[in-house]
Amino acid sequence: MAEGKNFEVVEGTNLREALLEQDIDLYSNGAQIFNCHGHGICGTCLVKVEGAVSEPTKLETTRMSFPPNSSHKDRRLSCQVKVLGDVRVTKYEGHFGEGEELLWTPEQGLVKATAKVS
């Protein structure tokens, strides 16, 4: 469940890909254009994930050790997460999703509108 949407995926599906396939607003502001497209190096797909998911990859652990992601131990890079069962995903504001204000929750669509880059 993410951004107020409940949907099913095949076990082992990449979380980032699943969210994007559902047209879920994963990226904030300029990160919609400037991101690494799922290679685990930019950190812009940061989300809070609760539920059955894979363990962090070495690449994710390395990226999460650098600011601004390093202060958020409860969050994951969605591009490095494999869905293994039921999950709930929450997105926070900020270019990297590093903020404290909610952008969207599992039950609710956009809580705070973000500026779109034209």
The helix or strand, by DSSP H or E, that contains position 104, with its residue range, turns out to be strand 102-104
pLDDT digits (tens, 9 = 90+) for 2-18: 988 999 999 999 999 99
Rounded CA-CA distance 64/70 in Å is: 5
pLDDT digit string, tens, across residues 62-80: 999 988 888 888 999 999 9
Q: Is the pLDDT assigned to residue 54 strictly greater than 90? A: yes
Closest C-alpha to 75, from 85, 84, 115, 93: 93
> What pTM did the predictor assign?
0.88
CA 64 to chain centre: 13
Residue 18 bridge partners (DSSP): none
Domains observed in the chain: 15-104 (3.10.20.30)
